[in-house]
Amino acid sequence: MHVVYKADNLFDAHLVKHALEDAGIPAFVFGESLLGGMGELPLFGVLRVAIPDAARVQAEGVVAALDLGQAPEDPISDADDLAGQPA
């Protein structure tokens, strides 16, 4: 098994899993049952999406195409809210 994606939340983990399965790659979400194990404190770094080693190259392409976790190309800043407004 190869971990192809480390998710920050359950939604992203399942989004990746379903995209991989749609591409014909079996995918597994590990760590899902650990969520909530610390009560109301969130756990980070426990969700991982894994695939068979033989599908590694294809799976990495599918995950890259999802473009998750990328910063926006043109980030919005506080200065943008003031643009065009009189001082």
pLDDT of the chain along its 87 residues, tens only? 899 999 888 899 999 999 999 999 999 999 887 776 655 555 666 789 999 999 999 999 999 999 886 544 544 445 544 445 555
What architecture is domain 2-66?
Answer: 2-Layer Sandwich (3.30)
Residue 5 near residue 11 (C-beta atoms within 8 A): no
Please state the domain extents for the chain. Answer: 2-66
Note the pTM of the prediction, 2 decimals: 0.70
Token pair recorded at residue 13: 């983990």
Give yes or no for a contact between 2 and 51, defined as CB atoms under 8 angstroms apart: yes
All residues at 6 or more sequence positions from 52 whose CB lies less than 8 Å from its CB, including other chains: 1, 2, 25, 26
